[in-house]
């Protein structure tokens, strides 16, 4: 058999895609599956965005674009981020990438190597730990705890810095917990980081527009003292219901952008041209669809949190943002991975075991509430029935 490169042993995966595949198989066998596993809005991409892509194709935008993206799109991103964060953003520091994920991979490749340490949230988006290991660096988890609303404190981050720390990956509002870090804590963190000017921070703000109960998004880019050491990760997937378009962007320190662009040239050349035109329409067009989606998520969040708390053995804190609920299910006495499997195979409800997001996720399940209220309620009925059997 062919010998695979050693580095392939370091790469992890995202369980949500495995569960999605299994849910698809079961559905193909005629089983009625409710998917609360995958993290994607259940809405269609707004029509004016779809139309912009169709128009771009009809207008003949069929060729390569500059690796960093077409200029009007980079300008639209810079304007949008400036408007939302108050930061001054030079369009030439914007890199258009095929999905938010790519930014994490690039950040890990740019800063990770044996001997370096990279901090990341745990439980957290599984790809952080995966790409850190792949780079050869040592992943250092920042534990996110239920009793703190799954938000990290400045001290949680600062106390884990060593002379080997190169990069810190942060995510607020967070997947899988819905945790949102308050501004006061970011203020403290930024102040503390002044003692470590050589450390870069990758801030994953892909759920930045999904916050509830009047919470406001805090962008690390809004701190002028962080401008030259923040990599902002964002994109269209969640905000505009565009997960399948593979459209993301990152904003880089000016001196680093050429290196990230070099990775892009080596990897994908550029993002699909017509999708880039759709990206402009998304950012510069009407934003009502975004507000409507967030309002829908807010309503479902209330439903799912109440329903989860009514299930014997479950206990769920109210998530501050994103579209995930992360209940503690230790009271059921069933190991979480086993519970994930049984819920899918026996009850037809796809969810993700907390352990898929790191060791600190043991005892929890992730539910995506980017699904209809009816489906959420039906899923909860099925779970109660299965657990009481």
Q: Which stretch binds ligand PLP (CB under 6 A): 52-60, 94-102, 149-157, 329-337?
A: 94-102
By CB under 6 A, is residue 125 in contact with ligand PLP?
A: yes
Residues 28 and 215: their CA atoms lie apart, in Å, by 41
131 vs 289: CA distance, rounded Å: 33
Assess 100 for contact with ligand PLP (CB under 6 A): yes
Which residue, judged by CB position, is nearest to ligand PLP in the bound state?
99
Rounded CA separation 229/207 (Å): 21
Asked if 320 is part of the footprint of ligand PLP (rule: CB under 6 A), the reply reads no
What residues from 179 to 238 belong to the interface with ligand PLP (CB under 6 A)? Answer: 204, 206, 235, 237
User: Cβ closer to ligand PLP: 239 or 274?
Assistant: 239
Nearest residue to 18 (alpha-carbon basis) of 356, 364, 252, 250 = 356
- Cβ proximity to ligand PLP, 186 vs 311, nearer residue: 186
Greatest pairwise CA separation for the chain in angstroms: 60
Q: Compute the least distance from the CB of residue 324 to ligand PLP, in Å.
A: 8
Stretch that binds ligand PLP, among 73-81, 98-106, 188-196, 331-339 (CB under 6 A): 98-106
- Contact track, ligand PLP, 145-174, x by CB under 6 A: --------------------------x---
Beta carbon of residue 175, minimum distance to ligand PLP (angstroms, whole number) = 3
**Which range binds ligand PLP by CB under 6 A, 95-103, 142-150, 180-188, 306-314?**
95-103
Residue from 217, 218, 250 nearest 235 by CA:
250
Number of residues this chain uses to bind ligand PLP (CB under 6 A): 13
Q: Does residue 250 sit in helix, strand or coil?
A: strand
296 binds ligand PLP (CB under 6 A): no
Q: Which is nearer to ligand PLP, 157 or 387 (CB)?
A: 157
Beta carbon of residue 174, minimum distance to ligand PLP (angstroms, whole number): 7
And the tokens for 115?
A: 């001997």
3-state secondary structure of 179: coil
Q: d(Cα 13, Cα 293) in Å, to the nearest integer?
A: 28
**What x-and-dash track marks residues 36-65 binding ligand PLP by CB under 6 A?**
---x--------------------------
Residue 170: CB minimum distance to ligand PLP, A: 10
Please answer whether residues 88 and 82 qualify as being in contact, where contact means their C-beta atoms are separated by less than 8 angstroms: yes
C-alpha 54/C-alpha 179 separation (Å) is 37
Cβ neighbours for 65, distance < 8 A, ≥ 6 positions apart: 270, 271, 273, 276
In whole angstroms, give the CA distance from residue 217 to residue 377: 29
Q: In whole angstroms, what is the distance from residue 174 CA to residue 322 CA?
A: 6
State the residues that interact with ligand PLP by CB under 6 A: 39, 99-101, 125, 171, 175, 204, 206, 235, 237, 243, 248
């Amino acid at each position: 058999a062919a010998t695979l490169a050693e580095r392939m042993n370091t790469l992890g995966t995202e369980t949500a895609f495995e569960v999605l595949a299994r849910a698809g198989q079961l559905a193909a066998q005629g089983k009625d599956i409710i998917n609360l596993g995958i993290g994607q809005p259940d809405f269609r991409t707004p029509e004016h965005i779809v139309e912009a892509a169709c128009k771009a194709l009809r207008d003949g935008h069929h060729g390569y674009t500059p690796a960093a993206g077409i200029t009007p799109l980079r300008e639209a991103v810079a304007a949008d981020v400036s408007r939302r964060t108050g930061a001054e953003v030079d369009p030439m520091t914007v890199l258009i990438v095929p999905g938010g994920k790519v930014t994490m991979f690039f950040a890990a490749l740019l800063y990770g190597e044996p001997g370096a340490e990279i901090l990341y949230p745990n439980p957290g988006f599984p790809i952080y730990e995966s790409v850190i290991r792949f780079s050869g660096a040592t992943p250092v988890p920042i534990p996110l705890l239920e009793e703190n609303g799954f938000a990290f404190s400045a001290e949680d981050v600062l106390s884990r810095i060593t002379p080997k720390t190169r990069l810190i990956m942060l995510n607020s509002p967070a997947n899988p917990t819905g945790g949102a870090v308050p501004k006061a804590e970011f203020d403290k963190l930024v102040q503390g980081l002044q003692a470590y000017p050589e450390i870069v921070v990758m801030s994953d703000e892909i759920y930045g527009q999904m916050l509830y109960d009047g919470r406001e998004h805090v962008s690390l880019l809004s701190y002028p003292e962080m401008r030259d050491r923040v990599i902002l990760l964002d994109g269209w997937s969640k905000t505009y219901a565009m997960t399948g378009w593979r459209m993301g962007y990152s904003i880089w320190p000016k001196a680093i952008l050429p290196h990230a662009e070099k990775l892009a040239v080596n990897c994908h050349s550029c993002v699909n041209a017509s999708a880039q035109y759709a990206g402009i329409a998304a950012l510069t067009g009407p934003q009502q669809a975004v507000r409507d989606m967030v309002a829908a998520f807010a309503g479902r969040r209330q439903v799912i949190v109440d329903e989860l708390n009514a299930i014997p053995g479950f206990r769920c804190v109210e998530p501050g943002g994103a579209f995930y609920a992360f209940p503690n299910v230790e009271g059921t006495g069933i190991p979480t991975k086993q519970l994930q499997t049984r819920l899918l195979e026996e009850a037809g409800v796809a969810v993700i075991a907390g352990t898929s997001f790191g060791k600190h996720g043991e005892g929890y399940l992730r539910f995506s509430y980017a699904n209809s209220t009816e489906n959420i309620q039906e899923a909860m009925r099925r779970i109660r029935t299965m657990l009481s059997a």
